[in-house]
Structure 1
Amino acid sequence: MGHLGGLFLRIAPLLCIPLCGAERHSLPACRQHLEFTCSDGSCISKLKVCDGHTDCRDGSDEHHCSHVRCKKDEFSCRSHLCISTHSLCNGVDDCGDGTDEASCHNCTAGFFSCGPSDACLPGNKLCDRQTDCRDQRDETWEFCGSAQVGPQTASTCAVSEFQCGDAQCIRQAWRCDDMPDCSDGSDEDNCDQNECLVNNGGCSHTCKDQPKGFLCMCPDNMRLVEDSQCEEVDMCLEDDVCDQLCLHINGSLTCVCQEGYHMNLAARVCEAKGDKAQLVFSSSKGVQWRSVTGNEENKLAPHLPGLGAITGVASNGSLYWAAPGRAGAIYRISINGKSQEVVLVLKTKGAVSGLAVDWIHQLLYWTSTQTGSVSVALGDGSAQHQLITGLDKPTAVAVDPLQGLIFWAQCGNAPKIERASLDGRDRKALVTSSIHRPVALSLDMPRQLLYWLDQELRSISRVDLEGRHRKIVVESNGYLDRAFGLSVFEGFVYWSEEVTHSICRANKHNGQNLQVLLSNITSPGSVLILHPVLQPNGSSACGHPGTVCHHECIVSLLSGGLDFSCISQEGGQNKSQQVPTIAHTVSASAMSDPMFAGILSLIMFLSILLAGMFLWWWRVEEFRPSRSLTVQSLSLKESQDPLIIIQGSNTCLVKAREVYTHTQKDHSLSERR
C-alpha cells in the first residue's frame, strides 16, 4: 500500500476503541498500523498526521506533508480526493480508486457495514433513530436523509450550541468557521447574517459580530472557556501558587495546609502527618500494597486476582475489591493485620466498573457498565439499591461525604462527568465537552477539585466541584498510552499504565517531575492511596449539601431508595449544625429468608417465655398476703420493638418508619400517666 493509501488506517483508532477500557490487552510502544511514532518516541493516532495541527512535541507529525491535506472528519484517498469519513465502507467507491472500501467487512446482502473493523449491521437497524455503529454513521444525514429530520427536530440544543439541519447539536463557536461540522454542512450556511442576534451567539456575556462568524468576549477578571462561556479567574487555581489552601490576605496570596497536614517549608508543599500512606493497586497477580515511599516490600493478596476496582477505609485498614467479570461481587480484606481472610460483602447486579466508599455514612457506591447504573449498599452488604439508572457505560465513581456529593463518569455515545447528592438527587453535569473516554476519577479533598483520566485523549484533567476552572494537568508523556487507575495525594497524581507495566506519579498541578514508582507489573489496574488524612471526620452532609445534623443522621436503605434524615436526642427531626453520629436503617426485605425466619422464631419464643413468666407471677401474687398497691411508672425511653437492635451508642433500625411511631406512643403514654 502506498504512502497516501496507507492513511485510510487513520480512522481505525476511532472505530476500534474497546468499550470503556473493558478489554485490556498488552500493546507495543506504538501500534504499527494505527499509530504514528513521533521523532521523540511518543505515539499519536495516524488520524492526526498532516492534519494542520502539531500533535507531536517536536512537530514531526506535520513534516513531509506536501500532499493534499483534508479537513477534519475527512478521509484522504490515494487519488488525492477528500471524502467524508462517513463514506468509508458504504459499499460505494467514493474515492474512485477503491481505497475507501479497502479492508472493510464484506457484509452479506441485507446488512450494513459500520466501517473498518466494526460490525455488520442488520438492515432493519439502519435509520431507526438509535445509533448502533460506533461512529453513529447508521443514523447520519448522508444515509438517512430527510427521514431523520421530522422526529429529531423536536429535540432542542443548549443555548451555547447550534442545531444542524439534521437536528445534530454542535458548539456555536464552530458555526461559520470555514469548516463544516454538521454532517449536512448547515453550520456554514447563511454566514453573512449577524449570529449575535440569535441567543447572543451562545455567548454567556458579550457577543461581537464579525464579517464572517462572531466572537464571544468576557469582562475583565474573567476568561473564556469552551469558546462561549465566561468564568471568573481564580488566581489560586489559575497559577497553582499553593499546594492546598490559598488565602487572600492584605492583597496577597498566602498558602496554608489543611488540618492533618504540615507545611514542608523547603519544598513549599503540604505533607500528611502520621504514618506513611499505602499505595494499593490491583493486577493480574492479585491486589498488592506497599508504602508510597517504597521503603518496604510489596505485600500481595493473590486470592484477589484480576484488575478489579478497589477502595478502602483507612481508619480500620479495610480494603474493598470488586471481582472482574460478568458475575459481580464485592469482597473485603484487612491489610493491617496478619490475617487476610477474604469476606464476601455482597453480590451485585452486573460487573463492577468503579468503586468508592463513604467512610462517614458507611456506604459503598459502585458503577456497572452492564446495568448502566450507579448503585449503593450498606457497608456490611445487608441491602443495596440502584441509585441512578439509564447511564451509558458508566466507568468510575467518587464520593465526598463532607460535601454530600457523589461523582461518576460515563463513556458511551455522549461521554461526560456528572454529580449528584448522596441520595442520587440534584443531578448536575460537570464535564460534557472535549472528553472521550473517562475511565477513572479521584478527588483532591483539600482543594475541592475533581480529577479524571481520559484513556483516549491520554491525559489527566481537573475541574472544581461546580465544573469550572478546567485544566489539563498531565498530557501524553510516554506513560499515558493506556492508563487505568487514578489517585491524588499530597502534591501528586498517581496512575497505572499497561503498556509500560508501571505505576507512575507526577505533579498534580502541571504534570512535571514524572516518576516511575513501580515497573514490570503484569497488567496493572486500579490505583488507591490509603491514608487517614484522605478520609477526614468532620461536619458531614446528611444526604444533601448543606444539611448537617445536630445529633444523629439516619441512613435508610429501603425498597424505595436511599434516604437520609436528621434525628435529635429527643427524637424530633432537625437540621442544625453539628457533627452527626450515624445509624443505619435496613428494610425488612433486605434480610434473607433464613434470617427473617430465625428472627421470627426468636420473637415467638420470647413471647411465649414472657407469657409463661407473667402467668407464674400472677399465680404467686394471688396467694401472697394482701397489701396496698403502689402504682409504678414504666419507662419506655428505649424502644421495646424486638426488631430494633441496639448496638452500642448507635441504633440499627430494621423498620425506619417505626421510629416516629414509637416516639409518638411514648409521648402519649407519658401524658396519660
Structure 2
Amino acid sequence: MHGRSSVPVLFVLLLGVSSLAYADWCEEKFADVPKESPVIQMLITVCRIVDIIKNSQSNKTESDERLYLAVLLRTDNLVFTEEVTGQGDFNSTELTSLPGGIAVDFDPVEGFMYCTEKGIYKTRLDGSDYSIVFNSTVTGEGLAIDWVARNIYWTEKDAIKVSRMDGSRQKKLLINDTLDGVRPIAVDPSRGKIYWTEWGDNPRIASAWMDGSNVKTLVSDDIQWPNGMAIDIKRNKIYWGDAYTDKIYSINTDGTERKTLSTGDNPHIFGMSYLDDYIYWTDWKTNQIERFNVAEDSINSYIATMPSDMQPFGIKATKLYPPPGITSPCGQDNGRCAHLCFNTPEGIRCGCEDGWELEQGGSCVKV
C-alpha cells in the first residue's frame, strides 16, 4: 500500500466483509504493516467507525422483531391494536381516546401510526402522543407513508394527494378527471411508484409514478369492488380483495400474471396489509381479522373477531423498524427540492404545493 491511492480500495473490500467485525478484519489485514503509518491509523479508525454503525443497525431488541397489527374500529370511535408475538399469541389493547378512522399506516422511522378521518392524525401504537397532522372537510379513504422521502399519500373519493409528514406542502397529484371512487393506496419508495384501486363505474387497479405522472391501468377486467389492497415489494406483487366476488387476487406490479389466491369465505373484505409472507385483512360482515400465507398458498387463518358493535376498517401489519434495503434519493436532504421530492423510475422529480410553481433547480415560487 502506498499513499492515498490505496484508500478507495479499502472501502470496496469492506462491502464484502461479513464473517469478521470490520475492526478485527482491519487489524488482521494490516498485521504486517507498521502501525505508526498515519494512513494505516486512519484506515483502522474508519474500520472501527463502520463497525460501530454496523452493530448499532443490527442490535435489534425482541420487541423490534414482533409483529404489530393496528386495526381501526369505526363504531364508537375506537382504535384496536394487536401485538402478535409470532408464536400465535395475541395481546389486544383498546385505545378509546382516539377518533377512529378509515385507513391506517405506520411510520417506522419515528414510530407513529397515521390514520385518516376528516384529515389525518397520528399517535403511538399505545395511543400516546396523539396529535392532528391536519384537518379537512373530506374523509380520507386510503393512506400510504413514504417513510424514506418523508411524504404522506392519501386518497379522497376523486383525488390522490400528497404532503410532507407534518401535513405541510399539500399537493393534488391526480384529480377527478382521471379518478372515480379511489379507495386504498400503496407506495414503493425504491422503485418510485404508487398503486391504488377505484370503485367507480369503471373499477380498476392502477399505478403511477410518485409524482402522479405515467398513469397506467393494471387491472380492468373481471373486477367489481376492489377494496383492500397491499403491495409486496420483495416479490413485486400487488394483492387485493374484491368485496363483490369475496376473493383475494394477486398480480405483478406491471399488471401481468393475475392469480386467484383465496376463494375462501370472505364475505366483505375491507382493509388489507402485507408483511413477511402474510396478507392480513378485515372483514365487515364477519367482523374478523384474518390472514393468508402467500408463500405456502395456505388456507385462510383466523386471528380475531371484533365485538358485534365494532366494525373493523383499516389494518396495518408492521414491525417497529424500517424494512431493510428500501432506499430513495429523496431520503437525503429532500433531494434538494424546496417543497416535495418524488423518486421516479427516471430519478428525482421535484414538486411544489398547490398554488406554487416549480422553477429550475427545484425551487418553488408562489403564483
Q: TM-score, normalised by structure 2?
A: 0.71
Q: Which has the higher strand share?
A: 2
1:474 aligned to which of 253, 262, 266: 262
2:69 aligned to which of 266, 276, 279: 279
1:501 aligned to which of 284, 287, 298: 287
Q: Deviations over 1:144-173 (max 9, x none)?
A: xxxxxxxxxxxxxxxxxxxxxxxxxxxxxx
Q: Is 1:523 aligned to 2:315, yes or no?
A: no
User: In structure 2, do the counterparts of structure 1 residues 550 and 353 end up closer, same or farther at CA, with 3 Å as the change threshold?
Assistant: closer
Q: Which residue pairs with 2:113 in the alignment? A: 319
Q: Is the 8 A contact 2:171 2:352 kept in 1?
A: no
TM-fit CA distance, 1:447: 0.6
Unpaired segments of 5 or more residues in structure 1? 1-271, 543-548, 567-574, 591-654, 662-673
Write the mapping of 1:256-655 to structure 2, written as runs, cut at 5 A. Answer: 274-283=64-73, 284-285=75-76, 286-293=78-85, 295=89, 297-323=91-117, 328-335=118-125, 340-348=128-136, 350-369=138-157, 372-390=158-176, 391-475=179-263, 477-478=264-265, 480-509=266-295, 512-521=298-307, 522-532=310-320, 535-536=323-324, 538-540=326-328, 542=330, 553-557=335-339, 564=342
Cα distance in 1, alignment partners of residues 296 and 326 from structure 2:
30
TM-fit CA distance, 1:520: 3.3
Q: What is the identity, as a one-letter code, of the residue corresponding to 1:517?
A: I
Q: Which residue pairs with 1:570 in the alignment? A: none
Q: Which residue pairs with 1:207 in the alignment? A: none
Task: Give the SS at the match of 1:341.
Answer: coil
Q: Is the 8 A contact 1:474 1:510 kept in 2?
A: no
Cα distance in 2, alignment partners of residues 565 and 499 from structure 1:
39
Bigger Cα displacement from structure 2, 295-304 vs 352-361: 295-304
Q: Deviations over 1:547-600 (max 9, x none)?
A: xx998613444xxxx55489xxxxxxxx99xxx9xxx9876979xxxxxxxxxx
Task: Give the SS at the match of 1:553.
Answer: helix
Q: Which has the higher contact order (CA 8 A, sep 6+)?
A: 2
Cα distance in 2, alignment partners of residues 588 and 467 from structure 1:
31
TM-fit CA distance, 1:514: 2.3
Q: Deviations over 1:112-139 (max 9, x none)?
A: xxxxxxxxxxxxxxxxxxxxxxxxxxxx
Cα distance in 2, alignment partners of residues 295 and 315 from structure 1:
26
TM-fit CA distance, 1:494: 0.9
Q: Is the 8 A contact 2:262 2:299 kept in 1?
A: no
TM-fit CA distance, 1:342: 1.9
Cα distance in 1, alignment partners of residues 180 and 192 from structure 2:
24
Unpaired segments of 5 or more residues in structure 2? 1-61
Cα distance in 2, alignment partners of residues 308 and 660 from structure 1:
34
Q: Deviations over 1:650-669 (max 9, x none)?
A: xxxxx9859689xxxxxxxx
Cα distance in 2, alignment partners of residues 556 and 420 from structure 1:
22
User: C-alpha root-mean-square deviation of aligned residues, in Å?
Assistant: 3.2
Task: Give the SS at the match of 1:303.
Answer: coil
Q: Deviations over 1:387-441 (max 9, x none)?
A: 1012111111100111100011101111001111110011111111111111121
Identity of aligned residues (%): 25
Cα distance in 2, alignment partners of residues 565 and 290 from structure 1:
33
Q: What is the identity, as a one-letter code, of the residue corresponding to 1:300?
A: E
Cα distance in 1, alignment partners of residues 229 and 341 from structure 2:
25
Cα distance in 2, alignment partners of residues 426 and 373 from structure 1:
16
TM-fit CA distance, 1:358: 0.5
Cα distance in 1, alignment partners of residues 154 and 183 from structure 2:
9
User: In structure 2, do the counterparts of structure 1 residues 333 and 461 end up closer, same or farther at CA, with 3 Å as the change threshold?
Assistant: same
Q: Is the 8 A contact 2:82 2:90 kept in 1?
A: yes
Cα distance in 2, alignment partners of residues 430 and 460 from structure 1:
16
Q: Is the 8 A contact 1:313 1:359 kept in 2?
A: yes
TM-fit CA distance, 1:345: 0.5
Cα distance in 1, alignment partners of residues 277 and 362 from structure 2:
48
Cα distance in 1, alignment partners of residues 144 and 130 from structure 2:
18
Q: What is the identity, as a one-letter code, of the residue corresponding to 1:469?
A: E
Task: Give the SS at the match of 2:161.
Answer: strand
Cα distance in 1, alignment partners of residues 234 and 354 from structure 2:
39
Cα distance in 2, alignment partners of residues 550 and 318 from structure 1:
21
TM-fit CA distance, 1:513: 3.6
